[in-house]
Each structure stands twice: as C-alpha cells, then as structure tokens.
Amino acid sequence: MSEIKALLDAAAAEVPGVRRIDDLRGDEAFVAEPAALRPFVTRLKELGFDFLVLVTASDNYLDEPRFDVTWRLRSVPRNADVRINVPVGGEDPEVDSVCDLYPAANWMERETWDMFGVRFRGHPNLGRILMWEGFEGHPLRKDYPLLGNTPGTPGYVGKGGKR
C-alpha cells in the first residue's frame, strides 16, 4: 500500500491547495481547496483512478466553512481508494462538477444539490432528483425542521386548516 501512498503524495504535491489528512481507519484521505479539486481529480484519473464510488456532502451547522463535500475515487486495476474532502461555505456554496470526467457523478451531484443545496458548476442538468421540482429547502441540512407540514405532500394542511 505504500506504493499507492507515494503515488498519491506525488499527485498532491503537483497541485497547490491539496494536503493529506489523517484518517480514522487508515484510508487515503486528502483535503482540497475548491479551486484545486478539478486539477487534482484530473491528475488522479490519469493515474488510473477510473471509478467514482460516491459524491456526497455533510453539514457542519454553525461552523464555518459549513459544508464538507466528499468524493471517493477508486482505482479498479490497483484496488485502491482515495477520499477527497472539499470544505465550502457561504450562503450559496458552489464546487466544480466532475460529470465530464465521471458520468457516474451526474445523479450523485444532483442528489447532493437536492439534499444540501451545494451547487455543482458545469453540471448539465442540475435539478432535483429525489424530491420533486418546486420543493422548497434542502432536507439534509441540519437546520431543516424534522417535524411539520410541507406544501405538496399528501395530507398537507395549510393555513386555516385548508388542504
């Protein structure tokens, strides 16, 4: 595994704004600046990381930067995984899309937008996927209420008890 480690460290050294972080269970993990994401992922793809396992985000509510967007890439021939975290903040968080590099990213990026409201710059059709068009809010954010009525759902009771 040290060979993979050296390979990844060399790739990270080529791209400014990428640094290695310690991982709980010994996975290869890196933190990248938003601007460094695409160069780093492009470099990793050249090195044989041809499979995108997941794209998702998590919400550090009340902390800044508020969101951590996570990519996990896999090299099928080398049997190695690497995780990339990109912290983004602000009212309207935005990161680059990797859809053109990995077609598998399409729906997972849409899901991340749907659930967290993180925009993916350059995505061909960044619409909602699990919720419906016209739904308001992003349900997996920590400040989204756990209880209450949502317009558009069956059994919704509006103001004054009107359906």
User: Contact positions toward other proteins, by CB under 8 A?
Assistant: 23-25, 27, 29, 50-54, 56, 58-59, 68, 70, 72, 76, 79, 81, 83, 102-104, 106-108, 111, 115, 124-125, 127-133, 139-140, 144, 146
Residue 126 neighbours by CB under 8 Å, 6+ apart? 97, 109, 110, 113, 119, 120
Nearer to other proteins, 13 or 121 (CB): 121
Helices (H) and strands (E) in the chain, counts: 3, 7
Nearer to other proteins, 16 or 156 (CB): 156
Residues in a beta bridge with 94: 119
CB of 10 to other proteins, least distance (A): 23
The β-bridge relationship of strands 94-96 and 119-121 is: parallel
CB of 126 to other proteins, least distance (A): 10
Nearer to other proteins, 33 or 70 (CB): 70
Nearer to other proteins, 39 or 70 (CB): 70
